[in-house]
A and B are shown apart, each in its own frame.
Chain A
Amino acid sequence: MTMTEQEIVAGIGEIVEEICGIPASQVTPEKKFLEDLEIDSLGMVEIAVAAQDNLGVAIPDEQLRNLETVQAVVDFVRNAGVSA
């Protein structure tokens, strides 16, 4: 199953809403997790754990610090889907 970019953004939005209580509508591709959404590195780990459960993509901890924006996570999930 391949997800569209829109579906991935929506999936990440749901995760962020569930974990951090930030409305999914605010989770748009250009947003930076730390600066715009105030999600710290532990929050990113929680998002990665949920992404594995919900989207079936494992994001290694050492990759997390490079994924500064929502778009970067979307790209990671999409590329992981292609190579899997």
Chain B
Amino acid sequence: MQMRLAEGTAGARIIAFGGYQPARVVTNDELAQAAGTSDEWIRHRIGVVSRRIAGPDETVADMAAAAGGKALAASGLSAADIDLVIVSTSTPETMMPCTAATVATRLGMSGPGAFDLNAGCSGFCYGLAAASDAVRAGTSRHVLVVGAEKPSQWIDWTDRSTCVIFGDGAGAAVVGPVTEVGTAPGIGPVVWGSDGSMADKIAIKDRRSFFSQDGQAVFHWATTVLHPIAKKACEAAGIDPGELAAFVPHQANLRIIESIAKKIDAPQARVATEIVYSGNTSSASIPLALVAMIGRGEISSGAAVLLLAFGAGICYAAQVITAP
């Protein structure tokens, strides 16, 4: 017996991005008193000035559908063109069903493949890699990838070491094939990995627990291990860091971002700092930063952008993309 395989395509690209953030802005001053901290401490330590927090009835699926709908509209495709939906979230309302199928139906899609993935704050880059590979393998033609998170429902609002860090939101990308002959792929090879020996360093231990982390250990790990991963992703894509127009790391902590940015040797790259007014939105942080930077004209179409995601697991992933 000879099995027939799907007909692949040479490369995948990002066609469009979309983002959604809740309307409510929460400043440091609003949190500082209950948590026994100050605006100055939060700015210095984490780099956050304000964050967006979802309302009690606003779900991860709501935010995912809002961001996904915007990405779909910007792509010029119709809902029926999407044949796979991947939602990355580590804060879903339900363990079952997955969020992705609900999002697909809400956006009027025609029963695409749908699944959630959980790679902590790295999830969007994992989803992008899976989408790119599905398109290249020919098992999907157009994929909607969403990072959607509501960390606010897993936080102890009296714990100053965690409650001031996070924000809610969702970011999405539509991934499709490179159709024009001679056009380079728009999503480079992913460099990814994990270290389960650090599983307890960033965790929501069970359904009754709040988010917890060993901030110092994570900081040490992030400022030591990640810059070589970022450089490897550039190498894998055949891009010199000097050619990067932007560096968009996961928006975990401004000091981690600055420390890694210094070490990757990309002098031309604009560095994403969306954490300042969005907080750490977990797996939504990279697509939300891309939406904002493209919207401000800081990243032009066709520019090479390095993504670097890391977080609970511990999981990490990096890839170079071409901006749509």
Q: Do A and B bind?
A: yes
Interface residues of A (CB under 8 A from B): 40-42, 45-46, 48-49, 52, 61, 64
Task: Pick the residue among B45, B220, B224, B259 that contacts A40 (CB under 8 A).
Answer: B45
**Cβ of B216: which chain A residues have Cβ within 8 Å of it?**
41-42, 45, 61, 64
What are 14 of the A-B contact pairs (CB < 8 Å)? A40-B45, A42-B45, A42-B216, A42-B219, A42-B255, A45-B216, A45-B219, A46-B223, A46-B255, A46-B259, A49-B224, A52-B224, A61-B217, A61-B220
**A5→B259 CA distance, assembly (Å):** 28
Query: What 0/1 readout, one digit per residue, does chain B (205-218) give for beta carbons within 8 Å of chain A?
Result: 00000000001110
Total A-B residue pairs with C-beta atoms closer than 8 Å?
24
**A46→B227 CA distance, assembly (Å):** 14
Query: What 0/1 readout, one digit per residue, does chain B (255-294) give for beta carbons within 8 Å of chain A?
Result: 1000100000000000000000000000000000000000
**A11→B255 CA distance, assembly (Å):** 22
- Cβ distance A39 to chain B, nearest Cβ, rounded Å: 11
**A40→B215 CA distance, assembly (Å):** 13
**A64→B220 CA distance, assembly (Å):** 12
Most buried by B among A45, A52, A61, A64: A45
- Cβ distance A53 to chain B, nearest Cβ, rounded Å: 9
A48/B44 in contact, CB under 8 A? no
Query: What 0/1 readout, one digit per residue, does chain B (238-269) give for beta carbons within 8 Å of chain A?
Result: 00000000000000000100010000000000
**Cβ of A49: which chain B residues have Cβ within 8 Å of it?**
220, 223-224
Most buried by B among A41, A42, A48: A42
A45/B220 in contact, CB under 8 A? yes
B220/A48 in contact, CB under 8 A? yes
**A61→B223 CA distance, assembly (Å):** 13
**Cβ of A48: which chain B residues have Cβ within 8 Å of it?**
220
- Cβ distance A33 to chain B, nearest Cβ, rounded Å: 15
- Cβ distance B169 to chain A, nearest Cβ, rounded Å: 25
**Cβ of A42: which chain B residues have Cβ within 8 Å of it?**
45, 215-216, 219, 255
B44/A45 in contact, CB under 8 A? no
- Cβ distance B291 to chain A, nearest Cβ, rounded Å: 29
- Cβ distance B197 to chain A, nearest Cβ, rounded Å: 15
- Cβ distance A21 to chain B, nearest Cβ, rounded Å: 12
* Chain B residue nearest to A60 in the complex (CB): B220
**A42→B221 CA distance, assembly (Å):** 12
Query: What 0/1 readout, one digit per residue, does chain B (183-227) give for beta carbons within 8 Å of chain A?
Result: 000000000000000000000000000000001110110011000
> What 9 A-B pairs have minimum CB-CB distances, sorted nearest first?
A45-B220, A45-B219, A49-B223, A49-B224, A61-B216, A42-B219, A61-B220, A45-B216, A42-B255
**Cβ of B45: which chain A residues have Cβ within 8 Å of it?**
40, 42
Query: What 0/1 readout, one digit per residue, does chain B (44-55) give for beta carbons within 8 Å of chain A?
Result: 110000000000
**A48→B219 CA distance, assembly (Å):** 11
* Chain B residue nearest to A52 in the complex (CB): B224
**A41→B219 CA distance, assembly (Å):** 10
- Cβ distance B106 to chain A, nearest Cβ, rounded Å: 41
**Cβ of A45: which chain B residues have Cβ within 8 Å of it?**
216, 219-220, 223
B217/A40 in contact, CB under 8 A? no
11 further A-B pairs in the complex, CB-CB below 8 A; given A42-B216, A45-B219, A49-B224: A40-B44, A41-B216, A42-B215, A42-B255, A45-B220, A46-B259, A48-B220, A49-B220, A49-B223, A61-B216, A61-B217
**Cβ of A41: which chain B residues have Cβ within 8 Å of it?**
216
**Cβ of A46: which chain B residues have Cβ within 8 Å of it?**
223, 255, 259
Query: What 0/1 readout, one digit per residue, does chain B (26-48) give for beta carbons within 8 Å of chain A?
Result: 00000000000000000011000
**Cβ of B220: which chain A residues have Cβ within 8 Å of it?**
45, 48-49, 61
- Cβ distance A42 to chain B, nearest Cβ, rounded Å: 6
